[in-house]
Structure 1
Amino acid sequence: MHKRQHSPEFKLEVVRQVASGEKRPAQVCREHGLAESVLSRWRKGYQERGEAAFRSQTPATSEAARIAELEQFCGQLALENAVLKKTLQALRSRSDMR
């Protein structure tokens, strides 16, 4: 199943329609093909944090997260590389003994 991503503006508009009484939650879900649980989560976030609930991460935060992810991946590759080198050395030493 493909996970859809909605813009912060879309989420805010949908939540405002329900909050103002303009539309009922079930109507909004039908019109936009949303699960009720998704709308419920958006409404809860809006009640707790207002419009800030739909602001995307700041670029610095997302960049830092991406850097951390890449550093972790680099460490994993270094570890795998070391294991492969040891295995290759062991195989070479076995073939030299024959």
Structure 2
Amino acid sequence: MNVPAWLLRHRITIERYEGDSAYGPRYGPPVADVPALVSETVRTVRDREGREVTSTAQIIAAPGLDCPAESRITLPDGRTTRALTVAHHTAPGLPVPQSTEVSAE
């Protein structure tokens, strides 16, 4: 069971992080109109290197969202942020929805 589509009221744009180049980070082409539920709340999370960092937006999306850490995200209010952590929530056999959670800077 996936997170119900009617809960994903916001639309975001994701530019997938593809690594670093001699000129800085490289991103894939923007994927616009991605359904999500955005909560702009300040939280402390650990980044992919284990450091404590502050997340100012949490995003819930459908399972299988292609958004690795460091990806660039444009939120519904137009603010551009960066993905700090990505968690894929699954619960095989349980009646709870599967989803992808992204904590953004």
Tell me the TM-score normalised to structure 1 length.
0.22
The structure with more strand, counted as a fraction of residues: 2
Bigger relative contact order (CA 8 A; separation at least 6): 2
* Larger-Rg structure: 1
